[in-house]
Amino acid sequence: MKDARILLTHGSGGESTRDLIRQLFLPGYGNSQLNLLTDGAVLTNVTAQQVFTSDSYVVNPPFFPGGDIGALAVIGTCNDLAVMGAVPRWLSLSFILEESLPIERLEKIVQSIQRTAAEAGITIVTGDTKVVERGKADRLFINTAGIGELHIPQALTPARIQAGDAILVSNDIGRHGIAVLASREGINLEVDLLSDMALLHPLIQALLNQGIDLHCARDLTRGGLGGALLELADQCGQDFRLQETRVPVSETVQAACELLGFDPLFIANEGCCALFLPEAQVADALAILREFSAGRWSAQIGTVLGNGTVKSAAVKNGGVFLENAYGVERLLAWHTVDQLPRIC
């Protein structure tokens, strides 16, 4: 490439932009659709009900232990679709690049996107490129949209959560947020931690295909497990009870959280989801999940109690109760102060 760094002209829509696309993006993750470079992508072979999502990625630093912003963009978007019960198929991927970003770095990200897209079985069919002045974007931001196909009669939604459902988590929590933070701040951890970035649709589809009556799934990104459950309890109006000792947390994450003063329950994950399914199917579900490396530490962490089981004005529309090792129940509450900025 002529220019070693991104310049404002790369975003102007003229020759520089076309050069960038042809020389960097298309060789990276091009395909028959994207290569057409039309303003929009025509989707053919649409066989089922569709699920549509959108996401943006501003993670700092863009390269972190276990991944980078490109892979994250693909995985994150696919996971949003996966937890609806859909199979991801098409993505749009748009860049906002900071002027003077080294193109070599962009190349690495493009390669990463390509690898992840292939693994996910999705095609990136459209995109956009903008460049902003130095200082207006921290190296690069990525925005995505994704379409997936639903092969089950009903999407997985909070409304389907029932009293008596088991609450499972697909893997140990806290790795992504801590890994990114440690890398960004240069914190020395005893054991090097990697982000838990992983595609979730293989696990969820495996569950669905093998007869598990999954009611709801939620990925545990910003706000972590705690945030997701608080939101879900509020949305479905049911109370959840979690057993603290059953939530899988690695020793490294635990130690880092103790050092930093964070609660692992509210740390972001990028390869982990909460699952709601009938109690009777827990053993089967865990067996299926544990066949995947991204489900290695899957566990049941609690149950759905039902509607208004805890009579208290503090819990109007569904609360989450955390039971400790001694059986004492605490009310899980929102942490109003953002624990970690810019981790996804």
Give the interface with another protein as residue ranges (CB under 8 A): 181, 185-188, 258-262, 310-316, 321, 326-331, 333-337, 339
**Residue 29 vs 266, nearer CB to another protein:** 266
Instruction: State in angstroms the smallest separation of the CB of 161 from another protein.
Output: 20
Residue 20, SS3 per DSSP: helix
Instruction: State in angstroms the smallest separation of the CB of 248 from another protein.
Output: 22
Instruction: State in angstroms the smallest separation of the CB of 250 from another protein.
Output: 17
**Residue 91 vs 229, nearer CB to another protein:** 229
d(CA 182, CA 256): 9
DSSP for 36-86?
T--SS-------SEEEEEEEEE--SSSEETTEEHHHHHHHHHHHHHHTTTE
- The distance of Cα 59 from the centroid of its chain, to the nearest Å, equals 12
Instruction: State in angstroms the smallest separation of the CB of 179 from another protein.
Output: 15
| Contacts for 260 with CB less than 8 Å, ≥ 6 apart | 178, 181, 187
**Residue 202 vs 226, nearer CB to another protein:** 226
Structure tokens at 219: 């990925």
Instruction: State in angstroms the smallest separation of the CB of 37 from another protein.
Output: 44
Write the Ramachandran bin of 13: left for phi over 0, alpha for psi from -120 to 50, otherwise beta.
Answer: left
**Residue 2 vs 311, nearer CB to another protein:** 311
d(CA 157, CA 51): 12
**Residue 155 vs 315, nearer CB to another protein:** 315
**Residue 192 vs 329, nearer CB to another protein:** 329
Relative to beta strand 320-323, strand 238-243 is parallel
| Contacts for 259 with CB less than 8 Å, ≥ 6 apart | 187
Give the type of residue at 246: R
Instruction: State in angstroms the smallest separation of the CB of 190 from another protein.
Output: 9
